[in-house]
Amino acid sequence: MAQGRFITLEGGEGAGKSTQATRLCASLSERGIETLATREPGGSPAAEAIRTLLVCESEGGRWDPVGETLLQFAARADHLRRTILPALERGVWIVCDRFADSTRAYQGAGLGVPQDEIEALYHMVMGDFAPDLTLILDLAVEIGLARANERDAGRSAHYERLPRAFHENVRASFLSIAAHEPARCVVLDASADADSLHEAMIGAVNERLGLQGDG
């Protein structure tokens, strides 16, 4: 049985990752590929429980940056062991809404956790494992925040309330990751309409992972 493929979608607030992840899974399924949609933090029962901890207020406020980072990797460890690796071994293609690059960008570049400490946790939890393809949905900060605020009207949105400099640092981090790992990462213009962005994603999957057809 052929090994599955692991595709991650990354980007800042309001980039449309969740919608595009759903559409990508549907397109792959239509082509006869067994596909699994998942997310981070989350994707397994224990990881979803940690997700609940991450979005809850702790005593005295939100988790500090180090606490957030540790919780992210605790969730990732369970997600990898219980969901991702078994599915890949069965030949399933996985589309994941956020993965380790979000920790590098949000907790690292955004909140100031040293990148070498994040990388040490990465290798402790995942060794040499990495996505086969990462699609980075890039969007100007002001557009992304406007979209996110409209989407989340009336709901608590911790990251959206942080200063603009935080979001600029997150965006710059994603672009830096893509520049340093061009074999894994493709940057896509998330300001495009949803259909055009989906077509660009399908094109990237076809080219990078050797699929045929338009999807």
pLDDT tens for residues 165-191? 999 999 999 999 999 999 999 999 999
Task: List, edge to edge, every strand of the sheet that includes 133-138.
Answer: 35-39, 93-97, 6-11, 133-138, 185-189
CA distances to 164, 173, 190 from 144, rounded to whole Å, are 11, 16, 9
Residues 6 or more apart whose CB falls under 8 angstroms from that of 132 comprise 5, 6, 7, 184, 208, 209
Own/partner contacts of 16-23, CB < 8 Å, gap of 24 or more, are 16/137, 16/147, 16/190, 16/194, 16/197, 17/97, 17/98, 17/137, 18/97, 19/194, 20/135, 20/137, 20/194, 20/197, 20/198, 20/201, 21/95, 21/96, 21/97, 23/194, 23/198, 23/201
- pLDDT above 70 (res 201): yes
Residues 6 or more apart whose CB falls under 8 angstroms from that of 166 comprise 110, 111, 159
Q: What is the DSSP letter of 130?
A: -
Q: What is the pLDDT of residue 192?
A: 94
CB 42 within 8 A of CB 48: yes
Q: What is the DSSP letter of 64?
A: P
Higher model confidence: residue 212 or residue 129? Answer: 129
pLDDT in tens, 86-105: 999 999 999 999 999 999 99
Confidence of residue 154 (pLDDT cuts 50, 70, 90): very low
Q: What is the pLDDT of residue 61?
A: 58
Higher model confidence: residue 3 or residue 25? Answer: 25
Alpha-helical runs (H) found in 80-136: 85-89, 100-102, 115-126
- pLDDT above 90 (res 149): no
- pLDDT above 70 (res 202): yes
Q: What is the pLDDT of residue 57?
A: 56
pLDDT in tens, 41-91: 999 999 999 999 887 655 555 789 999 999 999 999 999 999 999 999 999
Q: What is the pLDDT of residue 106?
A: 96
Q: What is the pLDDT of residue 213?
A: 63
Residues 6 or more apart whose CB falls under 8 angstroms from that of 202 comprise 24, 27, 214, 215
Q: What is the pLDDT of residue 157?
A: 64
Q: What is the pLDDT of residue 133?
A: 98
Over range 126-134, report the average pLDDT: 97
Domains of the chain: 6-209 (3.40.50.300)
